[in-house]
Amino acid sequence: MAAPRYYTVTWDQLHRDSKALAWRLHGKGPDEGRFRGVVAITRGGLIPAAIVARELDLRLIESVSVVTYDEEERGIPRVVKSPIAAGDGDGWLLLDDLVDTGTTARVVRGLLPKAHFATVYAKPAGKPLVDTFITEVSQDTWILFPWDTEPQFIAPIAKTAAAGN
């Protein structure tokens, strides 16, 4: 089995990528190019949603929370907080940091079928479920978001590959 690939995203990069997403979304809303509001998928979508909402001058922000795993154990997805104000999603922007396998995406699509679904990052398995994204990463890549990491020294790829890691 191959070693997992890691892609580290810094705070600066997340901000740039979220702003790029806002540029791509600008003018795509149903009301004269504007969305009614943003529904952030918690927890990962909260920070990108705040950045996109600022850039698109959206003040109405809702959230939806779907729990699919606890630590390392996957389970059946459970909606623990619904986005009441968003109705069926008509006119709303649904936002997350990443679409991976599509498990969470399918659940929120079921709750908000008329929303425009955007993510900052997308993997191949989940990509067909979103309307807009910025960066595609391979399915075997694990994205390390800034809220999950700390800055530290990492050996160059050539050195770790030579050591068999």
Q: How confident is the chain (165 residues) per 10-residue block, as mean pLDDT?
A: 83 98 95 94 97 97 88 78 93 97 95 97 97 97 92 82 65
Domain ranges of the chain: 15-162
Kindly report the three-state secondary structure assignment for every residue of 106-137. Answer: HHHHHHCCCCEEEEEEECCCCHHHCCEEEEEC
Catalytically active residues are: 96-97, 100
- The structure's pTM equals 0.87
Distance in angstroms (rounded) separating the CA atoms of residues 130 and 63:
17
Whole-number pLDDT of residue 165: 54
The CATH number that domain 15-162 falls under is 3.40.50.2020
Which of 151, 138, 152 lies closest to 98 in space, CA to CA? 138
Backbone dihedral region for residue 44 (phi beyond 0: left; psi -120 to 50: alpha; all else: beta): alpha
Whole-number pLDDT of residue 66: 93
